[in-house]
């Protein structure tokens, strides 16, 4: 079948593959599996009556796939932004992650390595409706932490990751009575997306400031750059995925260019970097 064929392609002769999948639960499950196998991205198949214009979004996706980096490396080197801040907190109370194209693969490389005692993780991954529920289910099966699609008003817990519902609502962090909660907002798209990484990062900057860590992963466009800059300005520690390990070095590059990223890290080292930072006594690295 298609997934078996994709597995063989990615193993024997890797090429960029764009999945066009139906907006059904089964279509979402198939697309998530394909992305974990290494597909470049997925595009939701419009209804039969939608017309040719409904496929307009497929054109830039195919162009991006054609220009994507092949043979990604996992260099151990990381790049420090020379504006490194001196502040550190004892232990972050929340980790915020933003991703787009290639994010399923990246999240699959990070979350399964996190211990069950890890601080709560909030994630905005650009995806269509239904897809994020399937992503959360598959990641939950792989991880020691509990991974779930975010719901409104849920108190954050250690050892849990909350993924913004795809295509419908922004995921925000709120603080009430000294406790942190998820908040979902049906506002307009921001930076061209709903959910938006900028929206998540800005809410974390406002609620947690230096008690947070921001991570921007592979993806097209600029969503997340300005929000991550607000996090860094508020005292948060900020990481970006290195160019060599990205499927698309768009979002991390934009964040680096505006000074939002304190350290660029290869995907293979990202989980260990986060664990090390959270374990250290002074909020730095051990």
Active-site annotation, residues? 100, 126, 223
Phi, psi of 49 (to 5 degrees): -90, 0
Query: How many Cα atoms occupy the beta-carbon half-sphere of 180 within 13 Å?
Result: 26
What is the rounded (10 degree) CA torsion for 102, 104, 109, 111?
140
Burial class (CB in 10 A: 0-12, 13-18, 19+), 85: middle
DSSP single-letter state for residue 23: S
Q: Which of 252, 249, 201 is nearest to 227 (CA)?
A: 201
CA pair distance 130, 218, nearest whole angstrom? 21
């Amino acid at each position: 079948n298609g997934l078996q064929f994709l597995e063989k392609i990615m193993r024997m002769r890797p090429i960029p593959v764009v999945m066009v999948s139906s907006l059904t639960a089964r279509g979402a499950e198939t697309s998530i599996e394909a992305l974990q196998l290494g597909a470049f991205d997925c595009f939701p198949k419009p209804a039969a009556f939608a017309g040719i214009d409904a496929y307009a979004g497929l054109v830039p996706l195919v162009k991006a796939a054609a220009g994507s980096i092949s043979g990604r490396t996992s260099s151990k080197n990381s790049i420090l932004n020379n504006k490194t801040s001196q502040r550190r907190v004892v232990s972050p109370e929340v980790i915020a992650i933003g991703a787009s194209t290639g994010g399923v693969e990246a999240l699959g490389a990070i979350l399964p390595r996190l211990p069950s005692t890890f601080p709560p993780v909030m994630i905005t991954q650009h995806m269509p409706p239904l897809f994020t529920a399937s992503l959360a289910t598959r990641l939950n099966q792989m991880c020691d932490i509990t991974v779930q699609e975010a719901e409104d008003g849920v108190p954050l817990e250690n050892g849990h990751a909350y993924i913004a519902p795809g295509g419908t609502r922004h995921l925000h962090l709120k603080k009430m009575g000294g406790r942190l909660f998820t908040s979902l907002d049906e506002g307009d798209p921001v930076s061209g997306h709903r959910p938006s990484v900028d929206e998540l990062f800005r809410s974390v900057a406002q609620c947690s400031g230096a008690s947070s860590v921001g991570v921007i992963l592979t993806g097209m466009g600029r969503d997340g750059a300005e929000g991550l800059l607000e996090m860094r300005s508020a005292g948060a520690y900020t990481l970006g995925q290195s160019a060599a390990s990205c499927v698309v070095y768009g979002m991390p590059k934009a964040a680096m260019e505006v000074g939002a990223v304190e350290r660029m890290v290869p995907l293979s080292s990202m989980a260990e970097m986060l664990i090390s930072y959270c374990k250290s006594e002074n909020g730095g690295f051990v």
